[in-house]
Amino acid sequence: MIHGGIRYLENGEFRLVSESVDERNDLLKTAPHYVKPLKTTIPIFTTFSGLLSGSVGFLSRRRAERTERGAALIKVGLTVYDAFSRRRGSVPRHRFVGRTTALREMPMLHPGLRYAATYFDASVHNPERLTLDVLSSGLEANPSARASNYVSVRSMGPDGILLRDESTGTDFGFTADVILNVTGVWVDETNAASGSPTAYMGGTKGSHIVLDHPLLLKACAGREVFFEHSDGRIVLIYPIGERVLVGTTDIEPSEDEPVGEAVCTEEEIDYFFDLIAHVFPAITVDRSAIVYSFSGVRPCPATRISSPG
């Protein structure tokens, strides 16, 4: 996903949405061989639900008690999102349709829906290639720059930092005026290895599955289906080549599971099958359709808030 951060509108994070949309639009222009517009449809089951709780969440920037988001609230959000999207981009504006049109365009959607809203974000099916291009551009822009893969921090002291080449096992020193620790969920582990323990990171675990399921792929009609599951989480069903990606969870990582070794659990897989049935009730999916699963920990700051979301 190369998304513009539409979910952050609900908490009034306009600067974050603005930055995300600008980055998305820039990538659509500068890397069209990797980044493509992604048609995204939201099935909607109510009209006015969520207006009050959405207003409370927006004004307080905290998640209010969960109430299903209805058409009115989603319409407001997509209208604001369009304003950000059109500023430096060319993706089409959002579109609202009623039940009859929605089911004509996507016949396997839940027959109980009332509306469907469609807007555009962007997708990248080769993120590794895009990452290498960004890296190459940086190296070309500054002849003094270097990039070294498979290197870990062993320790840090007044004379510099000790690094290890993990491919050969060789340790070597490095000095610089400024050293930035940008190791994501490993920030605290990196600081501990360098002799300066911290407790900055909290993080939540997110898993996905990728399915080989032709009927589900056909039901998506080439679109991402982006919706609210019964527990209030925003989830998605996303065609990726000839496969379908389903995600995501948002749970506390296991205390005995290192952040670099997170795995998708059986409970999470059951959750994914349940969310598929939430919008495509006529489609049956079982574990035989799973091509692979993947899981990671989001680099979120430590917090005392009890709900991971």
Q: Using one digit for the tens of pLDDT, what is the confidence trace for 46-76?
A: 998 876 666 555 555 565 556 678 999 999 9
**15-27 mean pLDDT:** 93
In the structure encoding, which two tokens stand for residue 300, read together?
Answer: 């979120």
Report pLDDT for 77.
Answer: 92
**18-27 mean pLDDT:** 92
Residues 6+ apart with CB under 8 A from 228: 68, 69, 234, 235
CATH homologous superfamily of domain 199-309? D-Amino Acid Oxidase, subunit A, domain 2 (3.30.9.10)
Quick one: DSSP state of residue 151?
E
Report pLDDT for 58.
Answer: 55
Report pLDDT for 37.
Answer: 92
CA angle 302, 149, 200 (to 5 degrees): 10
Report pLDDT for 56.
Answer: 54
In this prediction the pTM is: 0.85
Work out the percent of the chain whose per-residue pLDDT is above 70.
92
Report pLDDT for 61.
Answer: 55
Report pLDDT for 3.
Answer: 86
Report pLDDT for 283.
Answer: 97
Residue 40, classed as helix, strand or coil, is: strand
**Closest alpha carbon to 247 in 181, 295, 188, 299:** 295
Report pLDDT for 233.
Answer: 86
Report pLDDT for 54.
Answer: 60
Pairing of strands 35-44, 115-124: antiparallel
Mean pLDDT of the chain: 89
- The number of helices, as runs of H, and strands, as runs of E, in the chain is 8, 11
- CB 180, CB 194: distance < 8 Å: no
Higher model confidence: residue 66 or residue 190? 190
**Closest alpha carbon to 13 in 88, 92, 70, 81:** 81
Report pLDDT for 8.
Answer: 86
- Taking only the tens place, the pLDDT of each residue in 103-162 is 999 999 999 999 999 999 999 988 999 999 999 999 999 999 999 999 988 888 888 889
**173-183 mean pLDDT:** 90
Quick one: DSSP state of residue 87?
T
- Give dist(CA 214, CA 134) in Å, integer: 34
- Taking only the tens place, the pLDDT of each residue in 237-295 is 999 889 999 999 988 887 777 777 899 999 999 999 999 999 999 999 999 999 999 99
> Cα-flanking dihedrals φ and ψ of residue 188, to 5°?
-65, -40
Report pLDDT for 255.
Answer: 75
- CB 78, CB 119: distance < 8 Å: yes
Report pLDDT for 126.
Answer: 86
The CA–CA distances, whole Å, from 9 to 16, 55, 68, 158, 286 equal 9, 11, 16, 44, 35
Residue 254, classed as helix, strand or coil, is: coil
Q: Residue 248: is the preceding peptide bond cis (ω within 30°)?
A: yes
| CA Rg value for the chain | 22
In the structure encoding, which two tokens stand for residue 17, read together?
Answer: 């949405």
Strands ordered across the beta sheet of 170-174: 151-157, 160-165, 170-174
**Ranges in the chain annotated CATH 3.30.9.10:** 199-309
Residue 309 reports pLDDT greater than 70? no
